[in-house]
Structure 1
Amino acid sequence: MATAPNPRWPSDLMQAALALHDNQLHVAEPLLKAYLKQDPFEARAIRMLAELAGRIGRYKDAETLLRRAVELAPGFTAARANLALVLYRQNRAPEALTLLDAVIADEPDNPGHANLKAAALGRLGGFEDAILLYEKVLHDAPTQPRVWLSYGHMLKTVGRRDDGIAAYRRALALQPTLGDAWWSLANLKTVRFDDSDIAAMEAALARDDVGDEDRFHLDFALGKAFEDRRDAVRSFAHYDAGNTLRRTRIAYDAAETTAFVDRSIAALTPALLEARHGQGCAAPDPIFVLGMPRAGSTLVEQILASHSLVEGTTELPDMPAIARQIADYPDGIAALSADALREIGEDYLRRAAIQRRTDRPFFIDKLPNNWAHVPLIHLALPNARIIDARRDPIACCFSNFKQHYARGQSFSYSLDDLGRYYRDYVRLMTHVDAVLPGRVHLVDHEKLIENTEAEVRALLTACSLDFEPACLAFHENDRAVRTASSEQVRRPINRDGVDAWRPYAPWLGPLRVALGDVAES
């Protein structure tokens, strides 16, 4: 919902709007702040400053500004629509939906509002309602490529693969340079691009009017296209170009992750564990499947969700959100009282309940990044199961390097960052194993592929679940899957991807160096 310049605006505000439209944030920010210093009650300028904050991920700042804009101008529909978007991006879909109903009532013909509402419905598991809303929007406005794109995402999630592909192709017919649609096809992992597809993507990259976001999506898609053709040279060139460009648009400091892990290890001591024994929320409901992205966590989730007592949900944002509210986190976990730990566990369960759709006693939270919060999970939910889905370091890291994520996983766009992140993840999990032996069950992805039944039985035992044959027939489960592995887990277990990194070995030196000794583990 970008700001469109209005020729009737004051000249200073017009210049700021033009800079924001061109994504020149360094130009727009001082202009807007100077304007607001002269007129702090100008809702349009406040809204633009909020949009700028949102573009760089400062969503709380954006929310505060937008609430001020709406307070000053209650009828400012664009500001309310922006606020709904910011709430959605903070994983507060129920609040976003409440706002969107009012926004849509004011502007019923705006497809962007309905598109966001459908996405919010999908975030809450209302996939069929979301699909119906997309279909209504596309019936009334069939020439909206980004709505076709979002519709394709939802169809893919519920397993309607061919319909999803058709929706992505429709988006590309309307906008051949739409890099996100090309990447969405590549991200299915089952689509093979033909010569005309490759020519179309290369032609799009050659255009001067294609923006950075389309460019890095196109590079990731072309990397996959040439990988399928076993042309590692051209494939890596595109993966590298896509990652390099994407890295310029994000702020990530590997040293901060290392420091965080250092502090987590220092906080999780035997003395703390002894003092907090028996505290927290006793509920056994959650099964946390965590680790690195692209390490097989979706496969583990699909296996467990095929059990009659386990509900698969999605990658829940709740534990990181709770952690952000703890003072001086992660050091601050040592100061949490028994009441605070119990409340954290209960708060997590309340938040997670929004995603529950069945009365099965156990549910899965498969947010990989929860590895960073294992100490908090253990203290707040001591009876929750914790599964560490782990994959060969180089294979896992390179799989991330090939993957473009819509949001999050900022460490994944540099081989050096990836290696350091993986190493820090293993460091924390090794410490957890030392002070809490047996607390976390490790699922080795390569062992799971080679000896599936034995590993599945061990996994179920670790979760105190009886063996059920359906867990071996996980690919027959028609549940919705929202991750990049959605199509892969709808097929029987196979070795595809196990050695996919080997043709790229000549370029992976920086990754090996960053991994250090972990590379050989």
Structure 2
Amino acid sequence: ALAGLGHGLLQQGRMEEALDCFRQLRTTAPLQGWSQLIHAREVPDDPAVLEQMETSARQPSLEGRVRSGLLFTLAAAWDRKKEYGRAFALAQEANEASKLHLHYCPPAHRESVEEVMAVFSESLLASRSDWGHPSRRPVFVLGMPRSGTTLVEQILGSHSQVHGAGELSQVGELIQRMIAWELHLGSGLSYPACVADLTATDLQRHGQHLLDGLSALAPGPERHVIDKLPHNFEHIGLIKLVFPNAAILHVRRDPRDIAISNYITDYAAKFGGMGFAYDLGWIGEQLVDHDRLMTHWHRLFPGQILEVPYEALVDDTEAWARRMLEHLDLPWDPAVLEFQSLERSVKTASVWQVRQPVYTSSKARWRRYAEHLNALDAVLAACPPADPDPLPPPELPPGQFAAGMEALQAGRADLARQQFARVLVANPRHAAAHHFLGAALAQLGNLPAAREAMQRSVQLHPRQPSWQANLAAIQAALDRAGLGNRQP
């Protein structure tokens, strides 16, 4: 209870009260109390305390031979004590132990990046330039994790017309809904390939759904609401399709500083996510993929993404605050320079930093660990792969399947048959197109062909009980007509 209360106070910016909770916790549970205090930047003066914590971290448990979370905590403590060699050794041990629980695959991530770059091509975006929801309320602050996105959000969120909503999952949830719909249809498509089938109506609907979610989070009169999920940099193409007028701010930082900050941060990735952060080589590959994606997005959306260099921001906060507000078309508000006093919950790994005035000690932090960065430097120095050739324009106009469904529901069976047939030329494994082609053929009186199409649909996608029932009804009709030669 003390730990939970302390965390809640820490997120609300009530730093001294949080520290009091952790100090009280230390008297009854020393290991847990000191762990919380170290995360809140209070390190024990007595090295014996850290030695005892290290002994505890090496006690085998259900987690494995070491307690990686506690090793990460100790790495942070020795970093604060400027014992950088010892800090790195502990972080390395913690990362290696954590990797035993991971399934992260850098080649698979690079393949997904290649596909995103190919699908979101100039031709696809040009054909949809006047689509999407016109709202300018959403603002997206993004970049590599530990690049300074929380600081940017905290500065902007201190403006009277801006609400900082933190790291939202809205874009990821939209992608999951799109994937679930394609699974339901049995189209065989996934994200990002399924983007090509989105219609103007679909994008308007998705945009309104996301805006409704923002209004629930920020019911006040603020003009803008910030989503600062860092990895949204992978989805800028989708964001601009749904909200073509949305402001996007991309935070850049020295890649070696990003790497060290991620490597010494415990993301508890054994529970999912952030798997790249547990290996310096993997971090390097993620940084390369990040740079390639951002080059791609800038080429597609010239002048629409504001680059915010972290080092310049901390050196001249007011100048960059003015530039960021100008990007949002907002007037100057001196409150943005008092961002550390903003009363809102912060739940990221940067919870402590954003409660402090701007400081420059995080600049060039990598130099303290330079002798350990060979693996990272090798990846960053390697020539990145060439940009993929863009995919050809979609063979079908967006919404072809939906058009077939509308024709079928309107009783225009022959038009529906033509629409579904076109879908199947482009995508022969589209189970739903097979099934409703069968429904159109049944309306046209061609029951044997309807049965064949429906049989194909249930072979491709057997977990649709209603499709099984429709096929049984067609078979029964054929039996009554004496045409019921059953096919396997």
TM-score, normalised via structure 2 length: 0.72
- Residue of structure 1 in register with 2:318 after alignment: 453
Q: Matches of residues 255-274 of structure 1 in structure 2 within 5 Å?
A: 255-274=107-126
Q: Deviations over 1:227-266 (max 9, x none)?
A: 1222122111101011111121122111121111111111
Q: Matches of residues 152-191 of structure 1 in structure 2 within 5 Å?
A: 152-178=6-32, 182-188=34-40, 190-191=41-42
When residues 518 and 472 of structure 1 are mapped into structure 2, their CA distance, relative to the original with a 3 A threshold, is: farther
Q: Matches of residues 216-365 of structure 1 in structure 2 within 5 Å?
A: 216-327=68-179, 328-365=190-227
Give secondary structure in 1 for the equivalent of 2:140: strand
- Residue of structure 1 in register with 2:308 after alignment: 443
The yes-or-no answer on 1:496 pairing with 2:361 is yes
Give secondary structure in 1 for the equivalent of 2:165: strand
- Residue of structure 2 in register with 1:397 after alignment: 259
Give secondary structure in 1 for the equivalent of 2:139: strand
- Residue of structure 1 in register with 2:229 after alignment: 367
Q: Deviations over 1:115-163 (max 9, x none)?
A: xxxxxxxxxxxxxxxxxxxxxxxxxxxxxxxx33222211101112122
The CA distance in 2 between the partners of 1:372 and 1:414, in whole Å, is: 20
Give secondary structure in 2 for the equivalent of 1:501: helix
The CA distance in 1 between the partners of 2:43 and 2:62, in whole Å, is: 24
Which of 45, 58, 67 is the equivalent residue of 1:194? Answer: 45
Give secondary structure in 2 for the equivalent of 1:442: strand
Give secondary structure in 1 for the equivalent of 2:281: helix
Contact 2:134–2:245, Cα closer than 8 Å, also in 1: yes
Give secondary structure in 2 for the equivalent of 1:326: helix
When residues 400 and 518 of structure 1 are mapped into structure 2, their CA distance, relative to the original with a 3 A threshold, is: farther
- Residue of structure 1 in register with 2:392 after alignment: none
Which of 316, 326, 337 is the equivalent residue of 1:472? Answer: 337
Gaps of 5+ in 1: 1-146
The yes-or-no answer on 1:385 pairing with 2:236 is no
- Following superposition, the deviation at residue 312 of structure 1 comes to 1.0
When residues 504 and 204 of structure 1 are mapped into structure 2, their CA distance, relative to the original with a 3 A threshold, is: same
Q: CA RMSD in A?
A: 2.1
The amino acid that maps onto 2:10 is: K
The amino acid that maps onto 2:100 is: T
When residues 217 and 262 of structure 1 are mapped into structure 2, their CA distance, relative to the original with a 3 A threshold, is: same
Q: Deviations over 1:38-60 (max 9, x none)?
A: xxxxxxxxxxxxxxxxxxxxxxx
Contact 2:60–2:67, Cα closer than 8 Å, also in 1: no
The CA distance in 1 between the partners of 2:352 and 2:248, in whole Å, is: 25
* Aligned positions, number: 370
- Following superposition, the deviation at residue 206 of structure 1 comes to 4.2
Q: Deviations over 1:56-84 (max 9, x none)?
A: xxxxxxxxxxxxxxxxxxxxxxxxxxxxx
Using the TM superposition, name which of 322-331 and 280-289 deviates more: 322-331
Contact 1:176–1:204, Cα closer than 8 Å, also in 2: no
When residues 222 and 216 of structure 1 are mapped into structure 2, their CA distance, relative to the original with a 3 A threshold, is: same
Q: Matches of residues 112-151 of structure 1 in structure 2 within 5 Å?
A: 147-151=1-5
When residues 175 and 248 of structure 1 are mapped into structure 2, their CA distance, relative to the original with a 3 A threshold, is: farther
Give secondary structure in 2 for the equivalent of 1:363: strand
When residues 184 and 438 of structure 1 are mapped into structure 2, their CA distance, relative to the original with a 3 A threshold, is: farther
- Following superposition, the deviation at residue 384 of structure 1 comes to 1.2
Give secondary structure in 2 for the equivalent of 1:293: coil
- Following superposition, the deviation at residue 211 of structure 1 comes to 3.9
Gaps of 5+ in 2: 180-189, 385-488
Contact 1:288–1:386, Cα closer than 8 Å, also in 2: yes
Structure whose CA Rg is larger: 2
Which of 361, 376, 387 is the equivalent residue of 2:238? Answer: 376
The CA distance in 1 between the partners of 2:202 and 2:65, in whole Å, is: 43
Which has the bigger relative contact order, CA under 8 A and spacing at least 6? 2
When residues 420 and 175 of structure 1 are mapped into structure 2, their CA distance, relative to the original with a 3 A threshold, is: same
When residues 203 and 163 of structure 1 are mapped into structure 2, their CA distance, relative to the original with a 3 A threshold, is: farther
Give secondary structure in 1 for the equivalent of 2:288: helix
Give secondary structure in 1 for the equivalent of 2:217: coil
Give secondary structure in 1 for the equivalent of 2:332: coil
- Residue of structure 2 in register with 1:511 after alignment: 376
When residues 424 and 489 of structure 1 are mapped into structure 2, their CA distance, relative to the original with a 3 A threshold, is: same
TM-score, normalised via structure 1 length: 0.67
Contact 1:232–1:504, Cα closer than 8 Å, also in 2: yes
Using the TM superposition, name which of 342-351 and 255-264 deviates more: 342-351
- Following superposition, the deviation at residue 274 of structure 1 comes to 1.4
- Following superposition, the deviation at residue 352 of structure 1 comes to 3.0
